[in-house]
Amino acid sequence: MTTEQFEYPALYDTASEMSASSQNLFLLLVRAEYVLLFLAALSSLNFYSTPHYFIIPAAILIASLVVLIFRSLQKPEQDWYRGRALAESIKTSCWKYCMRAEPFGDSDSLSKRRGEFRSYLTEILVANRLIGDRLPPNSAAKDQITASMEATRALSLDERKEFYEKHRVRDQRTWYAKKASANRTSSKRWLVLSIFAYGVAILMSLVRITEPAFLYWPVEPVIVVASSILGWTQIKKFNELSSSYTLTAHEIGIIQGRVAEIKSEEEFSLFVVEAEQAFSREHTQWVARQQQS
């Protein structure tokens, strides 16, 4: 079995879909605000002296205000964070169930463990009832305990150790390492763009001193661009995430080396619980920081 064949509970797919769509909506609205502010600054350069021309920047600012109010009322970033936290919580519990780790450890009664896992999903739904009306219904008809989950749980200890190391531990280590590298690259790229934008604005301001007769120096639009870049980097937190993801990748690498030393079900259960805590720690902290900001 591969991770492509492995299916998570339907609730995980639903929460992931809600998180992704809310994230896309939030970032789209932020981009729209930046673009509208840039257009407002550009149109304020007085290309025409007729009074009716000034309706254009006023209309653009009104549109920007509407976007801001809509984003403030809808709060898609909260659905993004909550959906991601919900999905990751389900994912962690799913792996614990499949690996027979606590609180879904080995038992003579498999139906008992199934009941405990279903009860856990029910508790999650109750705890997240505030976003229940925003969960997409696409995956609602799918299984909550999938056939691939049952097949994985039925594997022997050695087979589960190999499956978990390959498809969970190694996968998470690769994910965090790639994300750390991508955020570091993005941080450098946006820093260069920010410096360039500020440099252009400064140069135009100095040149305007020598050419005061020219009325159309686009200093204000360039300043809006520079400020937007700064705001974007603060929203995305490239440097912070790069550092955190790098440390998490190293921590997972240390954990990964212990798989071969496991000899019993009890040791493997403790290992899975510890590993899942490491996988979710950084994400949980990030979600908490986002909700507090």
Categorize the per-residue pLDDT at 166 as very low, low, confident or very high, splitting at 50, 70 and 90: very high
Check: CB of residue 144 under 8 Å from CB of residue 11. yes
For residue 255, give the amino acid letter: I
What are the extents of the domains in the chain?
A: 1-154, 156-293
Residue 203's H or E segment, with its range, is helix 170-210
In percent, the amount of the chain with pLDDT more than 70 equals 87
In the prediction, which pLDDT does 32 show? 96
Give the separation between CA 159 and CA 147, rounded to whole angstroms: 17
pTM: 0.83
Distance (Å) of CA 73 to CA 30, 67, 70, 251: 14, 10, 5, 39
Query: DSSP class of residue 167?
Result: I
| pLDDT tens per residue across span 39-89 | 998 888 776 677 777 788 889 999 999 999 999 999 999 888 888 888 888
Contacts of residue 151, Cβ cutoff 8 Å, sequence gap at least 6: 1
Give the separation between CA 54 and CA 52, rounded to whole angstroms: 5
Query: Dihedrals φ, ψ of 280, to 5°?
Result: -95, -15
- Determine the 3-state secondary structure of 75 from DSSP: coil
Whether 205 has a pLDDT exceeding 80, the answer reads yes
Cα-to-chain-centroid distance, residue 130: 20
| pLDDT tens per residue across span 254-290 | 888 888 899 999 999 999 999 998 888 766 665 555 5
Residue 92's H or E segment, with its range, is helix 76-98
Distance (Å) of CA 1 to CA 174, 188, 194, 246: 19, 40, 47, 29
Residue 157's H or E segment, with its range, is helix 157-164
Whether 33 has a pLDDT exceeding 70, the answer reads yes
Distance (Å) of CA 262 to CA 141, 252, 287: 38, 16, 32
Check: CB of residue 1 under 8 Å from CB of residue 188. no
In the prediction, which pLDDT does 3 show? 52
Query: DSSP class of residue 263?
Result: -
